[in-house]
A = this chain, B = another copy of it.
Amino acid sequence: MQLSPPYLLFLGDAHDALAAKTAAGIAHWRPEWCLGQLRLPGCATTLGLPDMTVEEAAAQGVRTLVLGVANRGGVISDAWRATILAALAHGMDVASGLHQKIADIPEVAAEAARRGRQLADVRHFTGPLSIGTGAPRSGRRVLAVGTDCSVGKMYTTLALSRELQARGVAAEFRATGQTGIFIAGSGISVDAVVSDFISGTVEHLCPAAAPDHWDVVEGQGSLFHPSYAGVSLGLLHGAQAEALIMCHEPGRSHMRGLPHQPLPDLAECVALNERCARLTAPGARVIGFAFNTSRLDEAEGERVCKATADAFGLPCVDPVRHGVAPLADALK
């Protein structure tokens, strides 16, 4: 999955900022790729980008229309379809993070074929599948793991890859989810891969590299999430990461989406991730913590991070509030 920037971000009729969360992530991490936004009547949010029609975007050099928005019912409405067809007619690719595939809409597929444009349904992997082997490979790799879903794994790995690059270290962010793919311009949505191929797909995503090159791999889910732990374990084995960063949101009352399921104990979560990672990366260990403390005030956020750092003898930061320099230091 290889996307072509720059992008026009389609917000459709998003009713709030949450519905445009993916687009907001792209605009935050890739402002240089985001030339404008396209909003339909009823759209109640903005990314602060210039509003553009498809025609204006094409004139400014946009190469891909990005559907980075959640919609009601998961159905692509006629109002959206007209914009998609217009983008294709103006020579753009179209990339979508929706569950429904744009390539499954006959009219859209036919127009893309006629124009020779790419339709990229980034949630659906269509590349060649391979079975993982776990065979040792060169290069250095760090993976974000977590106590739960949606605790900041993507933010942490994006920030860490930037920090390493700023220090002159050869480092690359490897995207495993839809927003990460739009931001990186490539990647594989691992939770959409047939389960036999999870680890093999990740081996393909972060292949053997130069001995001092870091792949910074976005994590997904948690070994302790009853819905998605299989994805997390296949990702852990495929990444073959020598270094793990444990991501966590202090104060959560239960696992995301499952009111009956308690959060794991942090030490137990570290121990299980290390134990499982060592199947394919014998020396693997957690080298630090990334906490999302956005629901705490600043003093309390610092207190919580310091307590964890002291308890484990490892750096613990909120990447948004404190940056990730201590995590980059710990990779040396």
Contacts and interface: CB of A to CB of B under 8 A. Distances in A.
A231 interface: yes
A193 interface: yes
A191 B131 CA distance: 11
A200 B133 CA distance: 26
Interface string A125-139: 000000111111000
A50 interface: no
Contacts of A135: 258, 260
Contacts of A136: 260
A279 interface: yes
B229 A199 contact: yes
A230 interface: yes
A165 to B, nearest CB: 30
A116 interface: no
Interface in A18-57: none
Contact of A198 (B230, B235, B275, B276): B230
B233 A230 contact: yes
A198 B195 CA distance: 7
B191 A195 contact: yes
A17 to B, nearest CB: 25
B196 A194 contact: no
Contact of A195 (B223, B234, B275): B234
A233 to B, nearest CB: 5
A85 interface: no
Contacts of A134: 226-227, 258, 260-261
Interface in A106-148: 131-136
A237 interface: yes
Given A192-B194, A192-B195, A132 B279 contact: no
A233 B223 CA distance: 9
B192 A191 contact: no
Interface of A: 131-136, 190-196, 198-200, 223-224, 226-235, 237, 257-258, 260-261, 272, 275-276, 279-280
30 contacts: A132-B226, A133-B226, A134-B261, A135-B258, A135-B260, A136-B260, A190-B195, A191-B196, A192-B195, A192-B196, A193-B195, A194-B194, A194-B195, A195-B230, A195-B231, A196-B231, A198-B231, A199-B226, A199-B228, A199-B230, A223-B233, A223-B276, A224-B279, A226-B237, A226-B280, A229-B279, A230-B230, A230-B235, A272-B275, A272-B276
